[in-house]
């Protein structure tokens, strides 16, 4: 998993509340056996017209937001089912950070395990960022997980709270497997002793 310390990137505004995981990645794509390629289906029902063509009015289809790595959204982002595919889709599309007033708990956990930083700011602060992203061309934000701040070049400056253990994992680029592998030597020692256990040799 790629470490996240400080990110300066284009920000895209998704001015919607209660964005659920079925909107992030519709259920028909959950049958895929791969863990990659979900970015093509991110917000599929919103990004496509009834005929299947890209909807030019949907925010992340707009050329000015191409390459955005920060998504700004309304409260209760990631509600609905617990599918981890929602985090996969956001990450595969290129988003490394989502800023919103609140997030669903299970989505919050899934996102962190997939290298996505979820930043909680007040509704007033998020409204200001949404307005900036919609009205200022090439609007960029700097999100520092190390300093736990969000800033721009327009004078915006906000701090956010973050769980220390989650912060450690994200800044070090450690998912669940990476955390386990930090103890590889101890695990190898245990397995070697286990293999030598007398009850295994009894027969």
CB 141 within 8 A of CB 70: yes
pLDDT at residue 34, rounded to an integer = 81
Rounded distance, CA 156 to CA 33, Å? 42
DSSP structure class, residue 24: H
Q: Is residue 184 part of a domain?
A: no
Task: Name the DSSP letter for residue 58.
Answer: S
Please give the C-alpha separations between residue 112 and each of 76, 131, 151, in angstroms, as whole numbers: 16, 27, 21
The total domain count for the chain is 1
Instruction: Establish if 36 belongs to a structural domain.
Output: yes
Q: Mean pLDDT, consecutive 10-residue segments, the chain of 203 residues?
A: 96 98 95 87 95 94 97 97 95 97 96 96 98 98 98 97 96 76 53 58 54
Q: What is the pLDDT of residues 105-114, one digit of tens each?
A: 999 999 999 9
133 inside domain: yes
DSSP 60-86: GGSGGGTT--EEEE-SSBTBSS--THH
Give a yes or no: residue 203 inside a domain.
no
199 assigned to some structural domain? no
Residue 82 lies in a domain: yes
In a domain, 162, yes or no: yes
- Indicate which CATH number applies to the domain containing 46: 3.20.19.10
The whole-number pLDDT of residue 20 equals 97
Q: What pLDDT sits at residue 17?
A: 98
> Would 191 be classed as within a structural domain?
no
> CA end-to-end span of the chain, whole Å?
44
Domain with 114 in it: 6-175
pLDDT at 183: 45
């Amino acid at each position: 998993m790629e470490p996240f310390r400080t990110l300066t990137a284009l920000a895209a505004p998704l001015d919607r509340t209660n964005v659920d995981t079925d909107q992030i990645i519709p259920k028909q794509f959950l049958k895929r056996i791969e863990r990659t390629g979900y970015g093509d289906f991110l917000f599929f029902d919103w990004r496509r017209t009834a005929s299947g063509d890209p909807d030019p009015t949907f925010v992340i289809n707009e050329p000015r937001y191409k390459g955005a790595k920060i998504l700004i959204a309304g409260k209760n982002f990631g509600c609905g089912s617990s599918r981890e595919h929602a985090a996969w889709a956001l990450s595969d599309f290129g988003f490394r950070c989502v800023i919103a007033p609140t997030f669903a708990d299970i989505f919050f956990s899934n996102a962190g395990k997939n290298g996505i930083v979820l930043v909680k700011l007040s509704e007033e602060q998020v409204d200001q960022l949404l307005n900036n992203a919609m009205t200022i061309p090439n609007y960029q934000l700097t999100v520092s997980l190390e300093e736990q701040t969000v800033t721009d070049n327009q004078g915006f400056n906000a701090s956010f709270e973050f769980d220390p253990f989650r912060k450690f994992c994200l800044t070090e680029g450690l998912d669940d497997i990476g955390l386990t592998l930090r103890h590889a030597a101890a695990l190898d020692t245990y397995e070697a002793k286990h293999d030598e256990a007398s009850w295994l040799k009894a027969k």
